[in-house]
A and B are shown apart, each in its own frame.
Chain A
Amino acid sequence: MSTLEDRIGAAKAEGRAALIGYLPVGYPDVDASIAAMVAIVEAGADAIEIGVPYSDPGIDGPVIQEAVDVAVRAGVGMRDVLHAVEAVSAAGAAAVVMSYWNPIERYGVDRFATDLAAAGGAGAITPDLIPDEAGEWIAASERADLDRVFLVAPSSTDARLRSTAAASRGFVYVASTMGVTGARATVSDAAQTLVARTREARPDIPLCVGLGVSNGAQAAELAAFADGVIVGSAYVRAMLDGRGPDGVRALTEDLAAGVRRAGVRA
């Protein structure tokens, strides 16, 4: 049973897209980051992407790297991430870990799957792990009954959309623009095209769109055609600006209204 698919399905039953917020564990410190995640859940997010700090976040832009660098220097590790997973689950949202591959490999792939499941986690998003290299993770996540979210990109061929979507469980992460994470003034038209192509590749899995969303209007735009809207840098920006739990709560309310404005997807 897929926790993420259930959550996204429940949102759909309410006639809206799901809202997924991202924050890294450990900025400005572990407790404050977990408090902010809980605030996002309370304000209406369906799932939290819980970021594992990593020293070489190759797909992230300067905003996320700035926050993550602080956490890396403080020695934040998987144990802290698992605490965040417990807290987010207890607050009532699906907890999905977002991690570059090396921290998981270093922790031990099987151990990670076992401990994540025990903490109540839904699964993991692995931005630099393609299914071609993921044999061990696919086996471990199957054993632990966890979701595994792979990414597709505008440059993905149809064949890769099929194989990547087929290997995914929970949802497929549609990385709507070519480039690194970071808020953008406009959400790319490419997102709609890519969602349509991915849906054709695999119609029976939810598709969530990320990269660049920072406000309710953009969320509404994406919610018109996607099953879920992922917001990352805008949350991290709020934390970097010191807006804390109140700041992320206000942002969530705007975004949550956005995903409802779009109405039911045709």
Chain B
Amino acid sequence: MTTTSPPQPGELSLPARPSWPDATGHFGIFGGRFVPEALIAALDELTEAYEAMRVDPAFLDEFARLQRDYTGRPSPVTEVPKFAEHCGGARVLLKREDLNHTGSHKINNVLGQALLTKRIGKTRVIAETGAGQHGVATATAAALMGLSCTVYMGEEDTRRQALNVARMRLLGAEVVPVTTGSRTLKDAINEAFRDWVTNVETTNYVFGTVAGPHPFPAMVRDFQRVIGDEARGQVLEREGRLPDAVLACVGGGSNAIGIFTAFVPDGGVRLIGLEAGGDGVDTPRHAATITGGTPGVLHGARSYLLQDDNGQTIESHSISAGLDYPGVGPEHSYLHDIGRAEYRPITDAEAMEAFALLCRTEGIIPAIESAHALAGAMKLGREVDPGALLLVNLSGRGDKDVETASRWFGLGDREQVAPGPGMDTDQQPTEGAVSNHEAVAGQDAGERA
């Protein structure tokens, strides 16, 4: 397949695109454009400019140069044998997107969209952010390319992710805490769309995930697919074979689409998305959109979403701000419905167990988002044949999550780390987590708990 064959002289090194979406952005019944007419011209402009740019050698050279010299691509693949001891008999390889500049996969997409912004002659970018990783990446690209930048972030998330708020401000971005609705990512997206519809002449919306109206799901996929294109080649080179399964966490789903896309044609490779199960999908407090949702329209596209009988979006819950989203990208809904990918929930407690385990066994602090994928590997490893090869997308690093994790595990001085107003009881240790923690950390933790 074209993703692994080296480019021929005079030929663009573009990997083969999936046959979806269609020309109007539909992935089967999913996707499309459910937006006010006022935004259609901007979406058309973006689509046209992007389709021209993606085959323009000058853009591809510039994008490749930035990925190499600025982001630090290719990101390595690391085998984690001590972590894998907790994954049945499976071997585990991590794709290290946590080592990218800015600390996650989000930079891959943002550099592409920032170049596109300059190409269409706009001077200002806006973005939504949940965990703050996409906001930080957008603020970074804006600083690099001389664009002004406004980031919308749910007020609740500005508290959970104070470090990233500070980073964005240091980078020169304006961070607007959003106080409408549930004050999280979904409301930040609403506010960003409102800004865009008002300021569309000067402003480009740098969307952070593979959701939203066409062309965002396809465009963000194309910018993120470098993860899987690299990883497929890296695994083939070191193992002489493809992995048995590829695992990634799914909120909106950009890191998952990024690593899945290259493997979609490889029918023998299982693609597994791990959704945020929160307190459990049998409770109202989760963000497992495909597992627990139904098809509907949210934020400009048809996809699975968490909704009630009146079609109102249900507020999601996850310990991970980056997965705390009641929608999901339409391509995931499509991959689910055609049976090409599987989606499973991981609870907060399971994710935090995997988080602690990777820290202690391998010296890698993962983002809590990515810890959901690690927990998925721990479960899957026990189901598959010994020696199975699991490729996990470590989509981000956990520096931003240190406070949340400290609170969860009861580390540090409790009086100094009193829960802030945004921290409700869900972030206190549960019994399950304490016992997990004891298993991982031993005596130390037992004393604290």
Which residues of A approach B to under 8 Å, CB–CB? 53-59, 61-62, 65, 69, 72, 75-78, 101-107, 127-130, 132-133, 150-157, 160, 164, 175, 178-180
User: Which of B31-39, B68-76, B100-108 sits within the interface?
Assistant: B31-39
- Distance to closest chain A CB from B199 (angstroms): 8
Any chain A CB within 8 A of the CB of B194? yes
Q: Is the CB of B297 within 8 A of A175?
A: no
Which of B37, B41, B180, B200 is the most central at the interface, judged by chain A CB atoms within 10 Å of its CB?
A: B37
Q: Check A72/B312 contact, CB under 8 A, given A102-B296, A156-B40.
A: yes
Interface CB pairs A-B, < 8 A, 26: A53-B312, A54-B312, A58-B35, A58-B36, A58-B299, A61-B194, A62-B180, A75-B310, A103-B310, A103-B311, A103-B312, A105-B296, A106-B296, A106-B309, A106-B311, A107-B311, A130-B33, A130-B34, A130-B37, A133-B33, A155-B39, A160-B41, A175-B38, A178-B198, A178-B200, A178-B201
In the complex, the answer to whether B35 meets A128 with C-beta atoms within 8 Å is: yes
Kindly identify which residue among B24, B300, B309, B312 contacts A132, using a CB–CB cutoff of 8 Å: B24
Contact of A77 among B33, B181, B309 (CB under 8 A): B309
Closest to B186 in A: A56
Contact yes or no, B41 A155, CB < 8 A: yes
Determine which of B24, B198, B309, B313 lies in contact with A179 in the assembled complex, contact meaning CB atoms within 8 Å: B198
Question: Please, which residues of chain A bring their CB within 8 A of the CB of B201?
Answer: 178
Q: Is the CB of B34 within 8 A of A129?
A: yes
A83 to chain B, nearest CB (A): 14
From A104, A106, A153, B36 is in contact (CB under 8 Å) with: A153
Q: Could you list 20 further interchain pairs (A-B, Cβ under 8 angstroms) beyond the known A130-B34, A179-B194? A: A56-B299, A58-B35, A58-B36, A58-B194, A58-B299, A77-B309, A101-B297, A103-B310, A107-B310, A132-B24, A132-B33, A133-B32, A155-B41, A155-B42, A155-B200, A156-B40, A160-B41, A175-B37, A178-B200, A180-B198
* Interchain nearest-CB distance for A133 vs B (Å): 5
B190 within 8 A of A: yes
Asked if B193 CB lies within 8 Å of chain A CBs, one says yes
Chain B residue nearest to A152 (CB atoms) is B37
Chain B contacts of A164 at CB under 8 A? 37
Residue pair A69, B37 in contact (C-beta under 8 Å): no
Residue among B40, B42, B193, B297 having the largest count of chain A Cβ atoms under 10 Å:
B297
Measured in the bound complex, the distance between the Cα atoms of B220 and A203 in whole Å is 41
Which chain B positions have C-beta within 8 A of A153?
36-38, 40-41
Task: Say whether B423 faces chain A, with CB atoms less than 8 Å apart.
Answer: no
Instruction: Provide the residues of chain A in CB contact with B38, threshold 8 Å.
Output: 59, 151, 153-156, 175, 178-179
- Most B Cβ at <10 Å: residue of A59, A61, A160: A59
In this assembly, does B307 line the interface, its C-beta being within 8 Å of a C-beta of chain A?
Answer: yes
* B residues lining the A interface (CB < 8 Å): 24, 32-42, 180-181, 186-187, 190, 193-194, 197-198, 200-201, 296-300, 307, 309-313
What are the residues of chain A within 8 A of B193 when measuring CB–CB? 58
Output the least CB separation between B225 and chain A (Å). 26
Whether the Cβ atoms of B181 and A69 lie closer than 8 Å is yes
Give A51 Cβ to nearest chain B Cβ, in Å. 13
Distance between B324 CB and nearest chain A CB, rounded to angstroms: 15
Is the Cβ of A78 less than 8 Å from the Cβ of B34? no
Q: Which of A65, A107, A151, A160 contacts B180 (CB 8 A)?
A: A65
Q: What A residues does B24 contact at CB under 8 A?
A: 132
A236 to B238, CA, bound (A): 64
Query: Smallest Cβ distance from A39 to chain B, in angstroms?
Result: 26
- The residue that B197 contacts in the complex, of A59, A62, A75, A102, with Cβ under 8 A, is A59
Q: A107's closest neighbor in chain B, by CB? A: B311
Smallest CB-CB A-B distances: 4 pairs: A106-B311, A153-B38, A103-B311, A155-B41
Q: Which residues of B contact A101 (CB under 8 A)?
A: 34, 297
Counting chain A CB atoms within 10 Å of each CB, the highest count among B36, B181, B197, B311 belongs to B311
Most chain-A CB neighbours within 10 Å: which of B24, B41, B201, B299?
Answer: B41
B198 to chain A, nearest CB (A): 4
Q: Is the pair A54, B42 in contact by a Cβ cutoff of 8 Å?
A: no
Residue in B closest to A79 when the chains form the complex, CB atoms:
B310
Interchain CB contact under 8 A, B190 and A130:
no
Task: Specify the chain B residue showing the minimal Cβ separation from A157.
Answer: B41
Q: Are A160 and B40 in contact (CB under 8 A)?
A: yes
Q: Which residues of B contact A105 (CB under 8 A)?
A: 296-297, 311
* Smallest CB gap from A173: residue in B: B37
- Residue numbers in A under 8 Å from B180 (CB-CB): 62, 65, 69
Q: Which residues of A contact B300 (CB under 8 A)?
A: 128
Question: How long is the Cα–Cα vector from A62 to B311 in the complex, in angstroms?
Answer: 21
A228 and B193 alpha carbons, distance in the complex (Å): 28
The answer to whether residues A130 and B40 also contact, given A106-B307, A178-B198 and a CB cut-off of 8 A, is: yes
CB distance from A64 to the nearest CB of B (A): 11
Nearest B residue to A81 via CB reads B310
Cβ B40 vs Cβ A175 within 8 A: no
Asked whether, in the complex, the Cβ of A180 is within 8 Å of the Cβ of B35, the reply is no
Known: A103-B311, A130-B35. A180 touches B197 (CB 8 A): yes
Q: A105-B297, A160-B40 are in contact. Are A55 and B33 (CB under 8 A)?
A: no
Tell me the nearest residue of chain A to B45, going by C-beta: A155
Q: How far is the CA of A55 from the CA of B296 in the complex (A)?
A: 13
Q: Are A55 and B37 in contact (CB under 8 A)?
A: no
Q: Is the CB of B40 within 8 A of A102?
A: no
C-alpha spacing A54/B33, complex, angstroms: 18
Q: Nearest Cβ in chain A — how far from B19, in angstroms?
A: 21
B297 in contact with A102 (CB, 8 Å) = yes
Residues of A within 8 A of B313 (CB): 55-56
